[in-house]
Structure 1
Amino acid sequence: MQSFLQITTFSLLIFFYSLSLSIPTQASFDRTIEDEEVQVLGLNFKKEKLTHFKFYWHDIVGGPRPTSVKVVNPPRKSTTAFGVMNMIDNPLTEGPKLGSKLVGRAQGFYASACQTDVGLLMAMNFGFVEGKYNGSTITVLGRNMVFNKVREMPVIGGSGLFRFARGYVQARTYTFNLKNGDATVQYDCYVMHY
């Protein structure tokens, strides 16, 4: 009986050991995604397209319902407002008038990041609320030298229909109110996406 128990125990040990050898182990945290999985994700890397959007960004800092609010004051006085940071939830409209059709919102922040000129660090998502792009976003992160006629910033990604997006935006000041600081900026956005 003891011999039978030893043989059974030994057989079970060999069985479980061989079973552990057949279970694949993942050697790292990454893997290549196969073509079939890419299709399930809704991507077709062979059909990339370029889309141009033109809309108007309304930065409202004055009045009873601002869309841009200062959240950080500079530690000292500066002619360029170096250190100031504003959080934004700015409307994006089809035309230059604030009452034009709303196509999305610019959400994020801008901060004065230059000590010698008026230069902003812009970090924002263009969240679309219109048409087939409703719910999709384009992410912009870049330098905005405010007094240049045309400012160019990179598109670094997106979500929804803009997964893996890349491209650039060009910003042109349409109006600027010296009394209250409100601004309307035309954005031309060129984005490569699938």
Structure 2
Amino acid sequence: MTHLHFFFHGRFAGPNATAVLVAVPPAVIVLDDPLRDGPEASSKLIGKAQGLTAQASQEGTYLLMVVNFVFKAGKYNGSSLAILGRFVPDVSGTERSIVGGTGKFRMARGYTVGNVYIWTASYFVLELDAYIVHY
């Protein structure tokens, strides 16, 4: 089992936007967000979160998240995790399933626990813990 702790940074606006709204309604957002080892924008880049989220409820901001965490540095460089699950921006401790992986995470299973560190209209940072069983 491997435990990883990192931060998922996203930017909705500006010339360096990493999350782009592509369809409304319901909202569908395509992501190519940095994964960093800290909450600051200047923290070391360790990978990318690439995928999409879609509004998946009529009762509030409940999103379906389908994303690959692609690692680009350190021990897990070239490996990835496939994440699937519900994301609720205003709830701490949101869990998502790890449904697969590549490289050092081949045949991965597990889960992530995410907490909102920063959430504004144009920028967000999620603190993530990933608990991964793999070969």
Q: Normalising TM by the smaller chain, what interval? A: over 0.9
Which residue in 2 is equivalent to 1:143?
A: 86
Overall identity of the aligned pairs, in %: 41
More helix, by proportion: 1
Q: Which has the higher contact order (CA 8 A, sep 6+)?
A: 2
How many residues align? The count is 135
Which residue in 1 is equivalent to 2:41?
A: 98
TM-score (norm 2): 0.97
State the distance in 2 between where 1:146 and 1:95 align.
19
- Structure 1 position 130 matched with structure 2 position 73: yes
Superposition CA RMSD, Å: 0.8
TM-score (norm 1): 0.68
Residue 161 of structure 1 aligns to a residue whose secondary structure is: helix
State the distance in 2 between where 1:143 and 1:66 align.
23
Which residue in 2 is equivalent to 1:170?
A: 113
Match of 1:181 among 106, 122, 125: 122
1:146 CA drift (Å): 2.0
In structure 1, give the amino acid aligned to 2:113: Q
Uncovered stretches (5+) of structure 1, i.e. residues with no partner: 1-49, 75-82
Bigger radius of gyration among the two: 1
* More displaced stretch, 180-189 vs 100-109: 180-189
Residue 65 of structure 2 aligns to a residue whose secondary structure is: strand
State the distance in 1 between where 2:92 and 2:134 align.
28
Which residue in 2 is equivalent to 1:88?
A: 31
Note the alpha carbon deviations across 1:15-52, whole angstroms, 9 max, x for none: xxxxxxxxxxxxxxxxxxxxxxxxxxxxxxxxxxx111
Uncovered stretches (5+) of structure 2, i.e. residues with no partner: none
State the distance in 1 between where 2:38 and 2:20 align.
23
Note the alpha carbon deviations across 1:138-182, whole angstroms, 9 max, x for none: 0000011222121001000011111110000011000112xx331
State the distance in 1 between where 2:118 and 2:16 align.
19
Match of 2:18 among 67, 77, 83: 67
In structure 2, give the amino acid aligned to 1:141: L
